């Protein structure tokens, strides 16, 4: 996707520039110290140990899947449709997807994406 290295899952989902931007966005939101593991399996194992436990739901548990789905959709758009989105657009898609996935757990607490982002 970034055309810097061979496309393999570790690079695409963890180490590509766009993947790094998305991961850093959520690491910053969570306020945790994080060194990116080498494999997706290691990410899932380590990700379970971080997060805002006891805060408004466990939204952070959805972050890896949300990042990976967003990256995969962007990759497919670039490969098969010739569509390239900006970094900001990809970040907003990822946040919107996370909001959509978490909305059921937040009924009555947040009504909009803006409110959701404000509570992260």
Q: Is residue 52 part of a domain?
A: yes
pLDDT the model gives residue 48: 84
pLDDT the model gives residue 51: 61
Q: Is residue 50 part of a domain?
A: yes
Cβ atoms of 20 and 36 closer than 8 Å? yes
pLDDT category, 107, cuts 50, 70, 90?
low
pLDDT category, 53, cuts 50, 70, 90?
low
Q: Is residue 31 part of a domain?
A: yes
DSSP character at residue 7 = -
Range with top average pLDDT, 7-11, 28-32, 96-100, 104-108: 96-100
Q: Which domain holds residue 81?
A: 9-119
Q: Is residue 61 part of a domain?
A: yes
What total number of domains does the chain contain? 1
Closest CA to 78 of 15, 12, 9: 12
Q: Is residue 38 part of a domain?
A: yes
Q: Is residue 4 part of a domain?
A: no
Average pLDDT of span 103-110: 75
Total Cβ atoms within 10 A of residue 104: 8
pLDDT category, 56, cuts 50, 70, 90?
low
Tokens 């997807």 sit on residue:
97
């Amino acid at each position: 996707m970034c055309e810097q290295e061979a496309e393999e899952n570790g690079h695409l989902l963890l180490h590509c520039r766009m993947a790094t931007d998305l991961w850093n966005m959520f690491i910053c939101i969570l306020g945790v110290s994080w060194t990116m593991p080498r494999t997706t399996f290691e990410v899932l194992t380590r990700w379970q140990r971080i997060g805002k436990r006891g805060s408004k739901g466990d939204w952070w548990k959805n972050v890896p899947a949300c990042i990976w789905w967003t990256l995969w959709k962007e990759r497919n758009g670039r490969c098969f449709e010739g569509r390239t989105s900006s970094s900001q657009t990809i970040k907003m898609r990822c946040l919107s997807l996370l909001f959509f996935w978490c909305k059921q757990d937040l009924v009555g607490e947040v009504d909009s994406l803006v409110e959701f982002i404000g509570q992260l």
